[in-house]
Every structure is written in C-alpha cells, then in structure tokens.
Amino acid sequence: MELNSDVIYLLRKEFLRLHGQNNKMVIVRSPGRINLIGEHTDYNEGFVLPSAIDRAIYLAVAPGHDFEVTITSLDFNDNFSFDSRKLAKSEKIWANYLIGVVGELRKAGYPVNGFNCVYAGDVPIGAGMSSSAAVESGLALALNTIFGLGISRVELARIAQRSENEFVGVKCGIMDQFANLLSKGESALYLDCRSLGYEYIPFLRKDLKFVLCDTGVKHSLASSEYNLRRQQCEAGVRIMNEYIPGTRSLRDITSQMLQEHEKELGDTVYKRCMYVVEENARVGAARKSLQRNDYASVGELLYISHQGLRDKYEVSCKELDVLVDGASKIEGVLGARMMGGGFGGCTLNLVERDAVGDFKRRIQETYLEKTGKVPQLYECVLMPGTDVVTD
C-alpha cells in the first residue's frame, strides 16, 4: 500500500521531540472515504456503497502517564490535554472528535488510561471525505492496539459513531466509520446498515477513475439541517407505523406505501421519505450493475441520485448543482452527484481515464465562469481501511 512517508517521518520526529522515545508507539493510517451511492440512507437502516480512499490521517499514539492524555494536531498547530477520567467538551472543535472516542470507550467499560497522540494528514476538512470519521476511527483503532482492548472492527465503528453522535452532536449514521475501518481496497463496501452485514464488490474497470470536485463551500447549516433531515425521516416512520404496524425504519417501506399515505405524511416528510426509499432501491441496482460490469448504468444512477438529493431531500446547493450539471455535459463522464451530507463539500464523478485531463480543465472553467471560484480537484483510488503502519 502506498503510504505518505513524509507525514510518517514528521510524526515520528514530532512525537520524539514532544514525548521522548516510546517503544510502545504505534502509527495508524486512517483514510478518508468516498461513497459511490446511498446517501442519507445509513441512519434510516438502509444500504450504502462507500470505500476508503488514498487520502489519510496518520496518528502516532503511545501509552503515557496515569490518566493524562495529550493530543497534538500538526495541521491545526495546536494541542490539548485532559484527564481520561474527567471528560468535558472543549472549545477547540477539533479536539472534541478525539475526546469523544475516549469517552465512549470508557463508557463501554474499556480501561483507557493516559496516552499521547500526535496526528496529521491530507484528508481535506469539510470536503465530504469524512476527515472526522478518519480521526475518530483512527484513534479508536490506535487505543484498541496500545491498550490491547480486543475490540472488533465492527464494534470500533459503533464506538466511533457514538462519539460523534454524543460528543460532537452530529447524529450521523455508521457509514463513514464503517467504511473507514472495514474497507478492503479496489472494491466498494456494500453495507446493510440495519444488520451491519456487508460484502465487497470489486471495482473492476481500471480504465475508469473517481474524480472529486470540491465546491470549497461549507455551509454552517450542514449539521443542523442534517439533524433535521433525520428527524423528518423519524417522523415519517412514526406516521407510517400507525398504518403499517411493525414499521421500524424507512427500510420497511415501499414507494407505493408512501404514495398511499401522502396526505397523512404532509409534503415535506413525504418528499424526504420518498427520496430515502428510492435511494435504497438505487443502491441495490448499483450493486447489481457493478456485479455485471455495467458501469454505464452505475453512472446513470449517480445522476438520478443527485436529482433526488437536490429536489426531494433538498441537501444540495447551487455550487454542487453547477458541478454536476457541468459534468453531465462533458464527454467521458459516466455519472456525477453530490457526495456526503450535502450543503457543500464535493461531487463524485465517474470518468473514463482518457477523458480525465479534459474533464478537469472543462469543469474548472465552468465552475469559474458560474461561481467566480476555482474548485479543488482530487483523483482518488479505492484503498483498504484503517490499520497500523508496519515498517
């Protein structure tokens, strides 16, 4: 696997300078992720198709003294210390992602004592590649390793998700943490977010590339609107349960059932629920298309997913729409859609390898013309999930 040796070198050097030599130190590589399709379905017990990628955060972690925890972020050029038995939210937003993991591990009864952590990486923040899950899951795996906690990867994903729910306050689903810890590389991870059963679907077409276009926009609405969407889906489930007893989540509902109760659901909740039900069906269709090597159909599904996110779930924004619309007019693009929570971040584009150069040039021109800004572009490769780096 390709590792970022510059970052690893820097981490070793800084760890040594700050905390001295420690034979128990581990370095963990914890990647960002993309999601092929299945957006806002995870917290509805639905299906997703994500994968870890070749951008990652690296954490150097070793046991320390008593209960004292010291965390240094080289990217933020900042540090933070606390007692692992006395946990409180910090004003430093970046620190809460890490404090939360310690909190959830201890809540679950695992003995997390003092430790030192220095981290840095190249997962862009706020771009929708889930740098937050990379930090959470990476620390969870590192602590599992240095304290020999013996927690399975699936359970680590649950713990990392809970720490974001409880400590950061975003009621996210499990997709990001799961993709981070269980991806295999060169394949998408088909995950059933109810049973947490999963399978790997190889991504066979080496002549196709994933290109991410970053809007550079991060709306402050993102987390409040995210939580609101979740509440609207839950409201839909409650209403449907009155008519179809036993309905636990939108996973148990068909579009026909929703149509029959459109009035009772009301306009907004109806739209939200319809999007989720249809997106779940699209994940199933994408899985089948991948299995029969039909990437043109996968591309079509990406465009339809974007329309649903824009019109029914209403989590897109002008900049994302400009990028998807622009991509659809460029030859060699099989499909495009916004990716992640929405209200900014990246679009995901499935592009023929030979067309990538032209795609990059033209999408930058379009974005500049329509928004006055130049988008960051990232080509990415599907990689295995978080692991300890061995020399």
Q: Which residues bind ligand GLA (CB under 6 A)?
A: 39-40, 42-43, 130, 172-173, 175-176, 340-341
> 73 vs 161, which CB is nearer to ligand GLA?
161
* Catalytic residue selected from 66, 83, 122, 176: 176
270: helix, strand or coil: helix
CA atoms within 13 A on the CB side of 10: 15
Contact indicator for 350, 335 with CB cutoff of 8 Å: yes
> 322 vs 348, which CB is nearer to ligand GLA?
348
Q: Closest approach of Cβ 271 to ligand GLA, in Å?
A: 17
> 43 vs 147, which CB is nearer to ligand GLA?
43
Q: Which of 174, 169, 272, 283 is nearest to 223 (CA)?
A: 169
- Give the 3-state DSSP-derived string for 143-160, with helices as H, strands as E and coil as C: HHHHCCCCCCHHHHHHHH
Q: Closest approach of Cβ 313 to ligand GLA, in Å?
A: 10
DSSP calls for 11-64:
HHHHHHHHH---TT-EEEEEEEEEESS--S-GGGT-EE-EEEEEEEEEEEEEE-
CA atoms within 13 A on the CB side of 390: 2
Q: Closest approach of Cβ 114 to ligand GLA, in Å?
A: 29
Q: Closest approach of Cβ 23 to ligand GLA, in Å?
A: 36
> 19 vs 287, which CB is nearer to ligand GLA?
287
Q: Closest approach of Cβ 16 to ligand GLA, in Å?
A: 34
> Quick check: is 192 catalytic?
no
- Give the 3-state DSSP-derived string for 302-341, with helices as H, strands as E and coil as C: HHHHHHHHHHCCCCCCHHHHHHHHHHHCCCCEEEEEECCC
> 14 vs 278, which CB is nearer to ligand GLA?
278
Residue nearest ligand GLA, CB atom distance: 172
Show which residues are catalytic: 176
